[in-house]
């Protein structure tokens, strides 16, 4: 039987599935709307399994902070394309995942995926597969973190969720100026991407590796190779000190300072003084969508053509 555009539109609104999938479902079920919905569910979940091997390196980061500002969650959910990442349904789903994380006791992805989704009888994993069927791309809940504090938590989301940052501060004030200062620090973390909070947190393996790199650079430079070892070690120490100011948050130049000379630590001290309170950064978390994932170059036109066939 002939399937009308009106039927396809109605099924799309009911199921959220793609146009071609809806047309095929109606054709396979002779236009029966209920059977077509069931067909989409069955075949959609089967497709979700096939899509699981496809690289999901786009997506978004979402943050949830409770009303007290003392508990927060951050999550990264990946999609295959930036187009889907901008889809309202996908964005709502990621926010729901952040809420799930906030109320979860899971400490790893496997445990999280196995727990019940909200108040339903299905698991987080089952719900994610259902979303794959609806949206039509592989979706992956990649990572999450939760933070609880006796101080305050602030956050910053950049470019619609491309980067998300939460910052925990030990403070005894909840003044608006203090909350704004935490947000400014979150923006600092977003833009400068520090590796460590302070030089006390620097990984010794990283430090040793950097020293070896600098030592090799000096020994390979004809102008510096002949210098005494004591001088070389002093040069290495000086360059390491300079690098630490770039990779340690508290030592970084505060990007919003008017004179460009204030460090983040000095900025924190000024916030404490101006507001008559404690103000000490305890931790931060920075998620950047797709970081560390190898992305494939796709021929979008070829993919669309293949789907039409």
- DSSP, residue by residue, 16-49: ---HHHHHHHHHHTTT-HHHHHHHHHHHHHHHHH
- In this prediction, residue 68 carries a pLDDT of 95
Q: Which helix (H) or strand (E) holds 84?
A: helix 82-85
* Residue 126, pLDDT above cutoff 70: yes
Does residue 102 form part of some domain? yes
Contacts of residue 110, Cβ cutoff 8 Å, sequence gap at least 6: none
Q: Within this chain, do residues 64 and 138 fall inside the same structural domain, yes or no? A: yes
Q: In angstroms, what CA-CA distances link 194 with 83, 284, 308? A: 29, 10, 46
* Residue 300, pLDDT above cutoff 60: no
pLDDT, the chain, mean: 88
Q: Within this chain, do residues 64 and 46 fall inside the same structural domain, yes or no? A: no
CA–centroid distance for 87 within its chain: 17
Report percent pLDDT > 70 for the chain.
Answer: 88
- In this prediction, residue 260 carries a pLDDT of 74
Domain with 238 in it: 199-274
- Point out which residues pair with 60 in neighbouring strands: 77
Strands across the sheet with 60-65, in order?
A: 60-65, 71-78, 140-148
Q: Within this chain, do residues 32 and 104 fall inside the same structural domain, yes or no? A: no
Q: Structural domain tally of the chain?
A: 3
Given phi > 0 = left and psi -120 to 50 = alpha, else beta, which region is 143? beta
Q: Within this chain, do residues 60 and 47 fall inside the same structural domain, yes or no? A: no
d(CA 268, CA 184): 11
Contacts of residue 40, Cβ cutoff 8 Å, sequence gap at least 6: 11, 15, 17, 21, 22, 25, 133
Is the Cβ–Cβ distance between 77 and 62 less than 8 Å?
yes
Q: Which helix (H) or strand (E) holds 91?
A: helix 88-102
Does residue 303 form part of some domain? no
Q: Within this chain, do residues 91 and 143 fall inside the same structural domain, yes or no? A: yes
Tens digits of residue pLDDT in 181-220: 999 999 999 999 999 999 999 999 989 988 998 998 899 8
pTM of the model: 0.77
- In this prediction, residue 308 carries a pLDDT of 45
Residue owning tokens 């998300």: 164
φ, ψ dihedrals at 55, nearest 5°: -70, 125
Angle between helices 124-135 and 33-51 (to 10 degrees): 110
Report percent pLDDT > 90 for the chain.
Answer: 62
Q: Within this chain, do residues 36 and 66 fall inside the same structural domain, yes or no? A: no
Q: Within this chain, do residues 66 and 31 fall inside the same structural domain, yes or no? A: no
Q: Residue 79 is part of a domain; what is its CATH number?
A: 3.30.479.20
pLDDT band at 269 (very low <50, low <70, confident <90, very high): very high
Q: Residue 15 is part of a domain; what is its CATH number?
A: 1.10.8.10
Mean pLDDT of 122-148: 93
Does residue 46 form part of some domain? yes
* Residue 291, pLDDT above cutoff 60: yes
d(CA 245, CA 222): 28
- In this prediction, residue 46 carries a pLDDT of 40
Please tell me what DSSP assigns to residue 251.
Answer: G
Tens digits of residue pLDDT in 23-76: 888 898 898 887 887 777 666 544 555 555 566 679 999 999 999 999 999 999
Does residue 42 form part of some domain? yes
Q: Within this chain, do residues 66 and 122 fall inside the same structural domain, yes or no? A: yes
Does residue 297 form part of some domain? no
């Amino acid at each position: 039987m002939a399937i009308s555009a009106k039927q396809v539109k109605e099924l799309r609104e009911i199921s959220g599935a793609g146009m071609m999938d809806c047309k095929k479902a109606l054709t396979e079920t002779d236009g029966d709307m209920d059977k077509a919905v069931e067909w989409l569910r069955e075949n959609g979940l089967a497709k979700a399994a096939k899509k699981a091997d496809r690289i999901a390196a786009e997506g978004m980061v979402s943050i949830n902070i409770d009303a007290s500002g003392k508990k927060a969650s951050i999550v990264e959910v990946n999609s295959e394309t930036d187009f889907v990442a901008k889809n309202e349904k996908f964005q709502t789903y990621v926010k729901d995942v952040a809420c799930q994380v906030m109320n979860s006791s899971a400490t790893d992805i496997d445990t999280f995926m196995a727990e019940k989704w909200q108040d339903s009888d299905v698991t987080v994993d089952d719900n994610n597969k259902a979303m794959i069927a609806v949206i039509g791309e592989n979706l992956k809940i990649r990572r999450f973190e939760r933070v609880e504090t006796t101080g305050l938590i602030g956050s910053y989301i950049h470019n619609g969720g491309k980067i998300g940052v939460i910052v925990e501060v030990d403070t005894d004030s909840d003044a608006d100026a203090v909350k704004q200062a935490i947000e400014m620090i979150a923006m600092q973390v977003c833009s400068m991407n520090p590796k460590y909070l302070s030089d006390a947190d620097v990984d010794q393996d990283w430090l040793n590796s950097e020293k070896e790199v600098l030592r090799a650079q000096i020994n390979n430079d004809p102008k510096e190779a002949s210098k005494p070892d004591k001088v070389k070690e002093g040069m290495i120490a000086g360059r390491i000190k300079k690098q630490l100011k770039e990779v340690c948050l508290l030592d970084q130049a505060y990007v919003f300072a008017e004179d460009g000379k204030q460090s983040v630590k000095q900025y924190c001290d000024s916030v404490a003084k101006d507001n008559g309170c404690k103000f000490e950064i305890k931790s931060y978390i920075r998620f950047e969508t797709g970081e560390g994932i190898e992305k494939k170059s796709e021929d979008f036109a070829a993919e669309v053509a293949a789907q039409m066939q």
